Structure 1
Amino acid sequence: MAIISFWGIQHGLGVTSSTAATAALIGMEYQVRSLVSQPQWSDNTLQRIFQKTIQHQNPQGFQTSGGLDALERAVRSGRFERESVKNNSLILVPDRLDILKGTTKADRGQFDDASEVINLIYQKATEYYDLVLLDLHSGRNSPVVLEALNQSDLIVVCLSQNINVLERFFLQREQQPEAFQNKPFVILLSQYDEDSKFKVKNICNKYRYKGPVFTMPYNTSFKDHSNDGEILSFFRRNQQLTKFHPNRFFIEESRKLALHILNESGINTQVKQISGKGA
């Protein structure tokens, strides 16, 4: 139904971890069919974040799953069907969250040249999945990125509290892709420090910005689980927390972004919410 693209103006802004966190939380707490993928050349960080879950849920197929390259071949040979994406993806949460492996092409030029086919694959995926969450390469130097942004239903722009990053986005508008002229977007401050002078309110006031702003706070436990390939375990263990639990702020802020994405995608969150979750 909807394509949600996570994108940053430069590297190091937590795009991959934010995509993974949002996908994992939605997969744990909502009865929604979601797909998460990383259409980037020579980067499988997203897959590594989910690695232990992939191996557990797909004991026979995690090494041989076709992924993006197999789907590209299917498109070019005329064998691409409604459930082709599902059949070439790996299970993370049964019936709720899958991951589509990225490319293994050795040549970046070949990957960039396939941008039209790659984005056709994700568009077709929306016929089966309610949500398609994409972890895009930062910057504007890839035709795959630019085409993905143009076909997105919502763009999540990952920024930080670094003044140089903020000024590049808010004051140097010419660096923004053309998609920002006609596509809805929200800002996500990743690695957020709530004790910083550059809080959400102060940033919005400084740059006279009135659009939606969300945060993904820095959290040591989340980072450790990501490095261990057990990000889903982090969310499973932190669904119900006491008021002063150290992970509560991270979970609450992550839920705000997930809820906004679901609402903007036309999903009835009250009906789709799985009972038993809550902080």
Structure 2
Amino acid sequence: MTIISFWGIQHGLGVTSSTAAVAALIGMEYQVRTLLSQPQWADNTLQRIFQKTVQSQNPQGFQTSGGLDALERAVRSGKIERDAVKNNSLILMPDRLDILKGTDKSDRIQFDNASEEINLIYKKATEYYDLVLLDLHSGGNSPVIRDALNQSDLNVVCLSQNINVLERFFLQRESMPEAIKEKPFILLISQYDEDSKFKIRNICNKFRYKGPVFSLPYNTSFKDHSNDGDLQGFFRRNQQLPKFHPNRFFIEEARKLAIHILNAAGVNTSIKQISGKGA
């Protein structure tokens, strides 16, 4: 019943991979009905990341999925029911994680003009799903982005350790979308380098920031699995790791972020956690 949007102040900040990582981990380790979607024009990266799982769980694939466009038509005709989003989505993990195909529109103006219908679809999705995770286009030049940020219960703002990105966010907040000033948000440093001078602690000290900050470290195996369309396979193979395994830090940080999001959504993680999962 909660909408969480992942958003970046500019491109190249790992928004899509971060959204996918949190969704895959929650789907793997918690009995929570989660919907994953990418309401963006001309971008299906999120779908490609899960391609192998989509093909194995849904033999007909995205070709027969109604997706966002079918739901938009249903909204316009006043025929969108409680299970409509579920029925137009594809399974990634039965009863735990679904993905809603994005738009096939070739006209960006047409897509932007459907902002009201698109965000109503995600609001309707909360009647069935416990959690809706959205991968938003970076920046703020689209009504779909602005409306989604305003509608979300929590926004995850993706940054990097690049000083230009950090200064733009912390020192030029007046240029951020209104929702980032008014709605609850957390910060996420993606592709995080633990050896960098700009560790989370130092970033917070430099900009005198006291809010919650999380990280998703750079991880070669995670990147390779994403490129292979097998991101879910990465989490399946790395659920239980020895202390000094090279992937353990990434998994631990992803878990911290997932737990914070679930807590924000009002999910009792101790009850909803699937027995035997975790490092």
Task: Map 1:130-209 onto structure 2 (within 5 A).
Answer: 130-209=130-209
Residue 126 in 1 paired to residue 126 in 2? yes
Residue 249 in 1 paired to residue 249 in 2? yes
Looking at structure 1, the residues matched to 103 and 131 of structure 2 have their Cα atoms a distance apart, in angstroms, of 21
Question: Which residue identity is paired with 2:151?
Answer: Q
Unaligned residue ranges in structure 1 (runs of 5+): none
Tell me what 2:104 maps to.
104
Contact 2:5/2:152 (8 A) holds in 1: yes
Tell me what 1:43 maps to.
43
> 3-state DSSP class of the match of 2:99?
strand
Q: CA deviation at 1:60?
A: 2.8
Unaligned residue ranges in structure 2 (runs of 5+): none
Looking at structure 1, the residues matched to 108 and 137 of structure 2 have their Cα atoms a distance apart, in angstroms, of 13
1:110-144 superposed Cα distances (whole Å, 9 cap, x missing partner): 00000000000001100000000000000010100
Question: Which residue identity is paired with 1:147?
Answer: D
Q: CA deviation at 1:62?
A: 3.2
> 3-state DSSP class of the match of 2:56?
helix
Question: Which residue identity is paired with 1:219?
Answer: N
Looking at structure 1, the residues matched to 50 and 100 of structure 2 have their Cα atoms a distance apart, in angstroms, of 12
Tell me what 2:276 maps to.
276
Aligned length: 279
Q: CA deviation at 1:181?
A: 2.6
Looking at structure 2, the residues matched to 181 and 11 of structure 1 have their Cα atoms a distance apart, in angstroms, of 20
Contact 2:29/2:278 (8 A) holds in 1: no
> 3-state DSSP class of the match of 1:63?
helix
1:131-180 superposed Cα distances (whole Å, 9 cap, x missing partner): 00000000010100000000000000000000000000000011211012
Residue 267 in 1 paired to residue 274 in 2? no
Tell me what 1:33 maps to.
33
Looking at structure 2, the residues matched to 233 and 255 of structure 1 have their Cα atoms a distance apart, in angstroms, of 16
1:32-58 superposed Cα distances (whole Å, 9 cap, x missing partner): 000000000000000000001001100
> 3-state DSSP class of the match of 2:32?
coil
> 3-state DSSP class of the match of 2:102?
coil
Runs of 4 or more consecutive aligned structure 1 residues displaced over 2 Å after TM superposition? none
Q: CA deviation at 1:61?
A: 4.5
Which range is displaced more, 59-68 or 140-149?
Answer: 59-68
Looking at structure 2, the residues matched to 245 and 47 of structure 1 have their Cα atoms a distance apart, in angstroms, of 29
Looking at structure 1, the residues matched to 182 and 266 of structure 2 have their Cα atoms a distance apart, in angstroms, of 19
Tell me what 1:212 maps to.
212
> 3-state DSSP class of the match of 1:132?
strand
Residue 227 in 1 paired to residue 227 in 2? yes
Looking at structure 2, the residues matched to 138 and 60 of structure 1 have their Cα atoms a distance apart, in angstroms, of 31
Tell me what 1:71 maps to.
71
Residue 55 in 1 paired to residue 55 in 2? yes
Looking at structure 2, the residues matched to 278 and 71 of structure 1 have their Cα atoms a distance apart, in angstroms, of 36
Looking at structure 2, the residues matched to 42 and 222 of structure 1 have their Cα atoms a distance apart, in angstroms, of 24
Q: CA deviation at 1:200?
A: 0.3
Looking at structure 1, the residues matched to 53 and 269 of structure 2 have their Cα atoms a distance apart, in angstroms, of 25
Q: TM-score, normalised by structure 1?
A: 0.99
Contact 2:54/2:61 (8 A) holds in 1: no
1:218-264 superposed Cα distances (whole Å, 9 cap, x missing partner): 00000000000000000001000000000000000000000000001
Identity across the alignment (%): 83
Q: CA deviation at 1:182?
A: 2.2
Contact 2:37/2:135 (8 A) holds in 1: yes
Looking at structure 2, the residues matched to 137 and 78 of structure 1 have their Cα atoms a distance apart, in angstroms, of 27
> 3-state DSSP class of the match of 2:62?
coil
Looking at structure 2, the residues matched to 210 and 79 of structure 1 have their Cα atoms a distance apart, in angstroms, of 46
Looking at structure 1, the residues matched to 183 and 4 of structure 2 have their Cα atoms a distance apart, in angstroms, of 11
Question: Which residue identity is paired with 1:194?
Answer: E
Tell me what 1:21 maps to.
21
Tell me what 1:84 maps to.
84
> 3-state DSSP class of the match of 1:215?
strand
Residue 236 in 1 paired to residue 241 in 2? no
Contact 2:31/2:273 (8 A) holds in 1: yes
> 3-state DSSP class of the match of 2:59?
coil
